[in-house]
Structure 1
Amino acid sequence: MYRKEQYVFNGDTPEKAVIRSYTRDDFAALIDIQKMSFPPPFPSELWWNEEQLTNHITLFPQGALCVEMDGRPVASITALLVDFDPEHAQHTWVEITDGGYITNHRPDGNTLYIVDICALPAYRKLGLGKWLMLSMYEVVVQLGVERLLGGGRMPGFHKYADHMSAEQYVQAVLEGTLKDPVISFLLRCGRTPVQIVPGYLEDEESLNHALLMEWKNPFKRT
């Protein structure tokens, strides 16, 4: 089980936080985080349910982490292990995560794949998402896998899609002329682009696109 205690900052004020493995006792709080993190037009059927969460803590508990503050979970991240071939990178979120049920988790996989990351809106200014991502980098190193990988939503893309392709939008974000709430966040976490994946997830804001982004294990030589 994963657990570490630290301080996070609310402006200039340090506040105590615990990053730990989530358990069955956290399920109701985790589902509430999903509902508040992904309001409509995000599809409500993609919020966690108890069967999915049960699979997370039984099939791969190392990939099921949350941040606890004020006596309750306020953010979470979930992952599974997969075999990833960079030469055949195209996939959908449903295919690679089994729709969030992670029954295709591979204990001998070469890649830690991020299924989901979210935080209660009131706590987002504390940088909890970045701390959760950094914690997953620790899991990558502990397990000795090649990389962390995941598809980043592009929720700002719909504002520019009438005159920009997905590739042009991502390039503008990389050049700093545009900011995207998700892609820019992942870049700040140390993730680097692999390729754009159309049809990755039903997501009106991203026009169903995602940017596949990775963090390579610096201790692993391939």
Structure 2
Amino acid sequence: MYRSEFYVYEQDRPQRICIRNYTKDDFDQLIAIQSECFPPPFPSELWWNKEQLTNHVTKFPEGALCVEANGELAGSVTSLCVDFDPNHVDHTWEEITDNGYIRNHNPNGNTLYIVDISVRPKYRKLGLGKLLIQAMYHIVIEKGYDRLLGGGRMPGYYKVANEMPPEEYLTEVIHGKRKDPVITFLLRCGRVPIGVAKNYLEDKESCNSAALMEWRNPFKQ
């Protein structure tokens, strides 16, 4: 099981945090995090439910992590293992994550796939999202997977969707011609785009597209 304790800095003041596996005792806080990260008009029925969370901690507890700060949960990240073919990148979030229920978790798969990452707004200046992603890299190495993979929203794409396809938008972000709140963050975390998945998730800002972003296991090149 995973547990890591260290300090982060908030305005030059050190703050102790802990990244660990989440458990059934954390379910209410995990749902609260979703409500803060995805407030109305986002439909509440799309927040985590307890059946999904139960599957996370029973089918693949190693891939269910949370971060504690100030005595409360500040964020979480959830993953499952899949057998991914890099030659066939197009898929939807619902297909590859079993709509968040991860009943399709494959213990013999080659790829750690990110289902969701959420950090409470009041903690986002502490860099906790990046630390949660780095914790997932540790799991990739420890388990010997080929890669970490996930679909990144492109919330800035809708502004230029009439001018260019999503692939061109992604290229401009990679080359520094544009900044995107999610894709730029993932690039800073060490993730590398391998393609665009169309109709990945119903998302008006991204025009339903997502950038597939991987981190290759450096010990399995």
Contact kept? 1:201, 1:208, Cα under 8 Å: yes
Deviation at 1:165, TM superposition (A): 1.8
Q: CA RMSD in A?
A: 1.0
> 1:15: which partner in 2?
15
Q: TM-score scaled by structure 1?
A: 0.97
- Find the aligned partners of 2:179 and 2:44 in 1 and give their Cα distance: 26
> 1:52: which partner in 2?
52
Letter in 1 for 2:37: S
Deviation at 1:178, TM superposition (A): 1.1
- Find the aligned partners of 1:92 and 1:186 in 2 and give their Cα distance: 19
Deviation at 1:11, TM superposition (A): 2.7
Contact kept? 1:41, 1:204, Cα under 8 Å: no
CA distance 1:166–1:42, shift in 2 (3 Å): farther
Quick one: percent identity of the two aligned structures?
62
Contact kept? 1:157, 1:207, Cα under 8 Å: yes
> 2:4: which partner in 1?
4
Contact kept? 2:75, 2:118, Cα under 8 Å: yes
* Partner deviation per Cα, 1:144-180 (whole Å, 9 max, x = no partner): 0100000001111112212222112111111112111
* Partner deviation per Cα, 1:165-222 (whole Å, 9 max, x = no partner): 211211111111211111000000000001001100011111111000100000114x
Contact kept? 1:93, 1:99, Cα under 8 Å: yes
- Find the aligned partners of 1:45 and 1:144 in 2 and give their Cα distance: 35
Contact kept? 1:172, 1:178, Cα under 8 Å: yes
> 2:38: which partner in 1?
38
- Find the aligned partners of 1:88 and 1:167 in 2 and give their Cα distance: 16
Letter in 2 for 1:49: N
> 1:115: which partner in 2?
115
Q: What are structure 1's unaligned runs of at least 5 residues?
A: none
- Find the aligned partners of 1:5 and 1:145 in 2 and give their Cα distance: 24
- Find the aligned partners of 2:194 and 2:39 in 1 and give their Cα distance: 28
Deviation at 1:41, TM superposition (A): 4.8
Q: TM-score scaled by structure 2?
A: 0.97
Letter in 2 for 1:124: R
Q: What are structure 2's unaligned runs of at least 5 residues?
A: none
> 1:69: which partner in 2?
69
